[in-house]
Amino acid sequence: MSQNIIDITFEDEALTDIDGALDTLNARFGGLVALDPVKRRRLHKMGDKSEAFCRLAVDVLTSNPQILPPTFDLAALKRDVAALDALRARTVLVMRLYQRMLDTEMALGSDIMSNSVEGYQLLKLAGKSGGLDSLRKQLSVRFKTKRARGEQEEEEEPAAERAASA
């Protein structure tokens, strides 16, 4: 094998622990929502500039609760800000882990593909004399173009028809 970007194994016990941790995360983050695309589009968005405005508004409202009507839930607003801050810290950690997982998945796929192609090339060289030609042909389908496949099928069909009529 000429490419080996990563060499990793997951022991059964580690996978069990990981699955348990994921179950715990799902349970502890049970209050998270999943927005449908329409609702996501319609919501007010809080970007960086808007966040500064919102945080200042919370500070001003907290300092001047007398201007708020009884229906305005300042405590809920403060809880939302605290929840956002708590969630963001964890989101950053999960995003870093997620990116490493994606990169590892890509590296594993690349190792597998690169070494499979290398093995296929070796099979093309050594397979003819080793009685592996039919297996090599099965693998060669991956590298056939649409045009080449169409021509091959056209060539094979008449041969199959001739065999059937004979």
In three-state form (DSSP H/G/I as H, E/B as E, the rest C), the secondary structure along 14-28 is: HHHHHHHHHHHHHHH
pLDDT class for 152, splitting at 50, 70, 90? low
* Side chain identity, residue 66: Q
φ, ψ (nearest 5 deg) of residue 72: -85, 120
Sign of the Cα pseudo-torsion (102, 107, 110, 115, in order): negative
Tell me the pLDDT tens digit for each residue of 23-52.
Answer: 999 999 999 999 999 999 999 999 998 999
What is the pTM (predicted TM-score) of this model? 0.72
Residue 130: the pLDDT is: 66
Residue 147: the pLDDT is: 64
Tokens, residue 126: 């050594």
Tell me the pLDDT tens digit for each residue of 90-149.
Answer: 999 999 999 999 999 999 999 999 999 998 888 888 766 667 777 878 888 887 776 655
φ/ψ bin of 131: left (φ > 0), alpha (ψ from -120 to 50), beta (otherwise): left
**Domain limits of the chain?**
46-126, 132-166
